[in-house]
Structures are given as structure tokens and as C-alpha cells.
Structure 1
Amino acid sequence: MTPTDDPKRWLEQQGIREVECLVPDVNGVLRGKTLLTAKFLKSLEDRAFYLPSSAFLVCIDGRYSGSNDEGFAYQDPDMRMVPDVATLCLAPGAGAEKAYVFADAFHMDDRPWMASPRHVLRAVLDLYHQRGWRAVVAPELEFYLTAPNPDPDRPLIAPVGRNGRSETVQHPYDMAALEEFEPVIRRLYDYAATAGLPLDTLIHESGTAQLEINFLHGDALPLADKVLLFKRMTRQAAQQYGMHATFMAKPIAAQAGSSMHLHMSVVDEAGNTLFAGRDDADTEMFGHFIGGLQKYIPVRDLLGEDFVQTYLRVKSVEVDLFQSVVTSWERDHLLLKV
């Protein structure tokens, strides 16, 4: 049985007492509320589940950004939250008897609250659907494991591995170096399996205690949700072993930056790729896709790379040779953005 079939029965079978309703903001921060299971099930019936609209006005540093409409910002009206029961999953890192679910934000007249990234992405995917297409993606996430750092003014350092020492030099693709963090990795894979995250391969990246995880290909919206859950579970798994995990773009000045690579393709209703012909040659559509990326990536960067950390990563090409700053394209060229 899946949660979509019968949410109440699924929750009972799993022994769930609390449900965290997650609302991603534009920064990828999971906001929301925790509900007792009975309250959650009641909200599915009476739709009386609300969150202040200011949840979408919070900056990455926790301060409120304000609004162009001062009256709106002062009133801070509620949004109606509608849980997406298809996203219900166990929350293995958050304690026993707890589940996660993503929720969508709506106005009281049922219009989508378009500051919600899930609505924005769904609207883009609808444009594909109208043409009989489906976008397929596969994310790759880079992150650092670090030693606990209670003083934010002190630089981050690598954690102590199983051999009792911290990494001081780079170990890209080094299996012995990866093994140093085997307890955290095993816990993370266990969490992911419990929550249904489609993880694939794992490597040691260029930085000290920097790792990269690959996801299997799939639909964009469910994978976007699962990426956010993966980040949370990674931090939980690291804390279980006295470490921290960070997905910041440039957490250590003299080390490689972290990013999220995104493999993308488009298929038709029969599942046939639209970027390559039968002879495996590039199609005209593929050329237009590349051209569109070259045109719009600089604009996207204004929205997606607006944090100090991201700017430092872009600026540090002389330190991080794999930092992509050029919008030209070529096959198998890691220094290009496309």
C-alpha cells in the first residue's frame, strides 16, 4: 500500500504519531509545521491548515526581505497549505514515529501561491506536458563533511576519520579516503532507503572530506523534493557521528567549491529521447536547447547565484579549476557550464 492509496491506513501501519509538513522556499530551506497525525488527517478533510505568507519572505540569513506591497507585508495574510499525500514518506533521521510530507501553498480562493517554488516548477513542467513532452533529470550533489564548528568566525576544517586523523590534502576518487567516512555513508544510505530516495553512486570529490552523490534519473518535481530531503538527512546522519555536513557553495576558501550538477533530457509520451535521432546524432531540438541555455544561464545566475558564498565560488576559478564560468558548450568538458 502507498500513502496515496489510503493515507490514514498507511500512517497507522507505520506507527506515525507526527507529520512534518514541509514547505520549500526559494532558497531551498524547508519551512512548515509539525502536526500530530490526527490533526494532519483532519486537515486533509477540512483543509484548515494555514501558514503565514511571510514564510516566503525570509532571506537565507533568517531576516525578512520585506515586500513591494507594504500593506501586504504588514498584514501577513495566511496561506492555505494543501499536503501532497503522494510525497508522504518515513522520516528516519528525525526520530521514531515521524513522517515527512510536502505541502503546496494556495490563496484562500484556491489560486496557487506563485512564490512557492513547487508551483513554479509545476507550471514549467505543464508547458512540457502541453507539447506531449516529459522532462527527465538526474541531480548530482556535492557537499562537505566538517568537524563541529561552534564559532562561526573560525574556518571549517575536515572531521576526524576512522583512522583518527583529519584529511589535509585532496583525495579525489580515492576509495580509501572515502572509506574513512563509511559509518556516515552507511547511515545516510539507510536513511535514504527508508525514505525512498533514489540514490545511485557516491565518490570522494576534490576537497578534503568533500563527497558527491548521484541520483537516478526521474521526473523533476519528485526529485526536487527528494534532493531537499537528502540534504536534511545528510546533516542528520553526520550529526549522529559527531560531524556536520554543509552544501554551501564555498565553505572552505582554499578548497574546491560545491555545486549541484543537473543531467537533463526530454522524452516524448513513448519515452523516446528528443535530443538524439535514431543514428544517435544531435537533433535540431537539442541545438535549440543548448542555445537557450547559453542565452538564459547568465540571467538565471542572477537569481540562483545571489549569495555571497556562491559569488566566492564563481570568483575562485584560480583555486577551483572545476568551477564553470563559461557558457560555451562542448561534450565532456567540465570547465563549461553547458
Structure 2
Amino acid sequence: MPPAKKEVRPSNRGGRTRTPAFVKNLRGVKDWKEASGWLDWRGIEDIECITPDQAGVARGKMMPSKKFTSNTSLALPSAVFMTTITGGYPEDGNGFSYPEDDGDLKLVPDLDTLSVVPWESDPTAQVICDLVHQDGRAVEFTPRNVLRKVLAAYDKLGLKPVVAPEIEFYLVRKNPDPDYPLTPPVGRSGRPIGGGAGYSIAGVNEFDELIDDIYHFSESQGLEIDTLIHEEGAGQLEINLRHGDPIELADQVFLFKRTIREAALKHETYATFMAKPIQGQPGSAMHIHQSIVEKKTGRNIFKNEDGTESDAFFHFIGGMQKHVPNALVMLAPYVNSYRRLTQAASAPVNNKWGYDNRTTAFRVPRSDPSARRVENRIPSSDANPYLALAASLACGLIGLQKKLPAEPPILTTANEDEIDLPRGLLEAVDLFEADEELRAALGQSFCATYAAIKRAEFETFMEVISPWEREFLLLNV
């Protein structure tokens, strides 16, 4: 943290008070001096110093803004990043070892992410933090640093990934008792929302006031929504983000999830990013569009000079075809995630690719050659955005480095016959641990920690007796 800074005051040259331009930034400042002025100009009282854990949940500390800009050291226990979604901790083994001292990790605010928290009643700001050890080394197993590691490998090759996530989610009625199934909400018409309303403007209009709050909250934080649509599911919406830097886009998804949940709660509704929240309804995906450009020229390496597909394009796809099944646990991280990945559905269970073919795992949308990209349709919306991006880009990177060949594109329906992906969480963890090239790309300590967490979560799930078991086994076996 920085030493105490003098308060930034507007200049008063020629008798006029001039407000520094940076204080009007909706998102981000360049240094601590600007941060102090930015907070002071807005009258910010509190600031949330947050960072994503392995599940993508915001962890951190809140403090008065004056303390934030003083010589204050921020830290979190390392155990925060070894916690399961239920709040438990994995057992030692398979390369994972729980630190005996549970020492502190230092939070380092990324001032590029400074923004307001628009749903709070008191003036509040937020900033996303990175994690470092006490000696300043990056903590390898924290999600933001895992993505940074993958991007650093691209940087060494003179390359830069460009991504654009699409996030699907459901609005559902409040459900304080988890024993009861989720149900679609009631819209402004006063009737429960039905399914089959893909791209329906009337479906979007059912939630006008809630969506207005999503837009307002997002604008206040400097978050850019490209488009918003109603998806096929009952009360299912999708937000598309503009393409850009992977860290910035992961940050946006991280903040969008908070924003959408808060907007929904304001209207007495839940927003859920579960992969399969309602039986009989479509699952929720987080599709990731990816292209790779040369840092010096900005040229998309997926095209040749004549606009045709380059060798790098096919190698990137080849890497995804070979390694994404092994990385599935980062793209489909929970038992529920695999309920979405079913045959003859819009979610793929294959590792095929095709041109504008939505039944394949990897779709190449129709576009100008300079905008050629590969859409990974496998990730579900419950995935941690930092880890999903890291996994997808790491698989493509291995393909580029190893010059892996791609299979021929699929021209027909690809999701009705072969199943090329793991069918459950434990199988996915086994494949993840066995892929040495993937472990090297992501970091050994992260892979061991993440696998241990997923095994522990599965054991917790196995303690719960489901309605299916009571219905079909209770009196029949």
C-alpha cells in the first residue's frame, strides 16, 4: 500500500476552478494520487477491496476510504483460496498440501478497476485486488494470477488474445428453502414467465424495470454491455460483452455477476448463474469468443494475407480439441454443470468444430477474415470467468506451440452420437490431473489446489439424498 497522500484539490488558474479530468472516470485511475482525488470528489466513505476466490466469489475487506489511501497493508489468509463452495476444506494428497501456518497473502489493489458500488445506500467504491506473497511474488494458485500466467506465455510469443464472453442466467422467484424446485418469476404482465421466448422483445420487456437497473448499475461502474436478449428458457436472459483484453473482460464478468444479482434482489427476485437451475429448461452457458493478434501489428493470426484460414487458426483449434476435454473441470466446475451437457441439446458434449455450427463445441462464426474467431461453447455460466478464460486460452496456446492439427470441420449435426467429454465431475478431475501440458501452462500449485477442492465438493454432494432417489428407490428396491 502507498504512503499517505496529500489531498487532490481542483486547480484555480485565472480565477476559474478546474476539475481534473481523471476524477470523472467511471472506471479506473492511474496512480494513488489520482485515487485519492477520485474518492474525495465523489465523497466516497467506504471501499470494498475484493478479489475472486476459486469459485469466482468476491472475497476481501471493507474499510474507510481515508484508510485505503494511507499506509495500510491488506491481507487475506491463504485458506480463502483453498475453500470449497460449501465452506469446507479439502484433504491433503495428490500434490495438494494445506499450509500449516495458514499465512497471510497480501492484497494489491489494481487501480485500473476502481469504480463505485451503485447499489449501496452510502457512497461506496470497489477495487479488484491481486494476491502476492509477503516477498512480493505472485500467488500462483489464485484465479486472476492463473489467467495472467497464461497471458504471459502468449506475450513471450509476441501475441495477445482478444476475447468476448456471453453470459446466460435465469431470473427466478425467491426460494429460501433449497428443498423446493426453482420456478420462473412473474413479469410485469402478472403471469409466470414461460419458455420458448428466444430473442423475444416482449420477453425482455417483462422485466423492464429490473433491466433498467442492470443498465444503470453497469453504466455507473464503467461496464459496457454490447447486447441483452431473452434466451429460450423461462426467465432466461443473456448479456454479451464487447471484445477486449482477457483480464479486463474477466473482471467485467466478475462484476456483472454481482451487479445482476443485486439488481434482481432490488426487485424481490433471484438471479442465478447455475448451469442447470430448472429441470426441463435449457442450461446457462458462458460462451467465449477468442481471437489472437500480433502485439506489434494488431494482425489477427487466424488469417493469411489473402483472407484464408492460417495454419495458426487450425493449430489453435487442434489444441482446443485435444486439451479442452481435460480442462473441462474449469469450464464445468460443479456436479450441476454436467446436467447441462447432454446429447441433442444446445450445449455440446463433443470436441468438434465447424463453421457457424452451433451443435459443435467450437464454432467459427461467419465474419470478415480480420475478425475471424473461435467460439468455445462448452463453458457454463457457473464457471469462474478467470479460470474459464485461462483454461480455454491455455488449450489453444498448446496447439499453437505444438502445431497440433485440427480435425476436419463438421458440416452436419454433431451433438447426437459421440460423447467426447467427461460425463461427470470426478472423471473430469482425473483427466485434468493427468494432462501434464495443461498443468504446466496453468501452474502446478493451482492445479493441485483446484483438483483437491473439486474432489472435496463432490464428496459433500454425495452426502445429500436427492428427490429422484426417494421417488424411485424408496419403495421399489
TM-superposed CA distance for 1:312, in Å, is 1.4
Kindly indicate whether residue 353 of structure 2 is the aligned counterpart of residue 332 of structure 1.
Answer: no
Q: 1:287 aligns with which of 307, 314, 324?
A: 314
Matched with 2:49 is 21
Q: 2:287 aligns with which of 242, 252, 261?
A: 261
How many angstroms does 1:97 deviate by? 0.9
| Residue 313 of structure 1 pairs with residue 340 of structure 2 | yes
- 88-97 or 207-216, which deviates more: 88-97
The more displaced of 166-175 and 82-91 is 166-175
SS in 1 for 2:336: helix
Contact 1:57 1:67 (C-alpha < 8 Å) held by counterparts = no
What residue ranges of structure 1 are gaps of 5+ in the alignment?
Answer: none
TM-aligned CA deviation for residue 39 of structure 1:
1.9
2:299 to 272, 294, 300: 272
How far off is 1:322 after superposition? Answer: 0.4
**SS of residue matched to 1:302:** helix
**Secondary structure of the equivalent of 2:355?**
coil
Q: Which residue identity is paired with 1:56?
A: F
Measured after TM superposition, the shift of residue 207 of structure 1 is: 0.3
- For residue 165 of structure 2, what is the amino acid of its counterpart? P
Q: Which stretches of structure 1, 4 residues or more, deviate above 4 A after TM superposition?
A: 66-72
Q: Find the residue that maps to 2:170 and give its secondary structure.
A: strand
Distance 1:37 1:9 in 2: 11
* Residue of structure 2 equivalent to 1:49: 74
Rounded to whole Å, the distance in 2 between the matches of 1:64 and 1:279 is 54
> Which protein has the bigger strand share?
1
Q: 2:228 aligns with which of 202, 223, 234?
A: 202
Where does structure 2 lack aligned partners over 5 or more consecutive residues? 1-21, 363-477
State how far apart, in whole Å, the 1-side matches of 2:57 and 2:90 are: 15
| Offset from partner CA, 1:50-85 (integer Å, 9 cap, x none) | 111110011112222244489854421111111111
Distance of 1:327 and 1:70 partners within structure 2 = 30
Q: Between the two proteins, what is the percent identity of the paired residues? A: 41
Residue aligning to 2:156: 130
| TM-score for the superposition, normalised by structure 2 | 0.67
Aligned equivalent of 2:87: 62
- The structure 2 residue matched to 1:165, chosen from 191, 202, 225, is 191
Deviation at residue 181 of structure 1 after TM alignment: 0.8
Tell me, yes or no, if the aligned pair for 2:194 and 2:235 is still in contact at 8 Å: no
CA deviation after TM superposition for structure 1 residue 256, in Å: 0.2
Say which of 311, 318, 328 aligns to 1:301: 328
Relative to 1, partners in 2 of residues 1:67 and 1:39: Cα closer, same or farther, differing over 3 Å?
farther
Partner residue of 1:248? 274
Alpha-carbon distance between aligned partners in 2 of 1:39 and 1:65, rounded to the nearest angstrom: 35
Aligned-residue RMSD, C-alpha: 1.6
Distance, in Å, in 1 between the alignment partners of 2:260 and 2:303 is 36
- The whole-number CA distance in structure 2 between the counterparts of 1:71 and 1:37 is 37
Larger radius of gyration: 2
Whether the 8 Å contact between 1:147 and 1:244 is mirrored in structure 2 is: yes
Distance 2:213 2:42 in 1: 20
* 1:262 aligned counterpart, secondary structure: strand
1:104 Cα deviation from its structure 2 partner:
1.0
Q: Distance in 2 between matches of 1:105 and 1:126?
A: 17
Assess if the C-alpha contact under 8 Å between 1:114 and 1:120 holds in 2: yes
- The alpha carbon displacement at 1:153 in A equals 0.8
How many pairs align?
Answer: 332
Distance 1:79 1:302 in 2: 26
Q: Secondary structure at the match of 2:288?
A: strand
Moved more, 281-290 or 29-38: 29-38
Secondary structure of 1:200's match? strand
Match of 2:37 in 1: 9
The superposition leaves residues 247-293 of structure 1 with CA deviations (integer Å, 9 ceiling, x where unpaired) of 11010111000010000001112221111123321101000000000
Greater shift in the superposed pair: 73-82 or 202-211: 73-82
Contact 1:57 1:66 in 2 (8 A): no
- Correspondence 1:69-84 to 2 at 5 A: 72-84=98-110
Q: Is the 8 A contact 2:283 2:340 kept in 1?
A: yes
SS class of match (1:330): strand
In the alignment, does 2:65 pair up with 1:40?
A: no
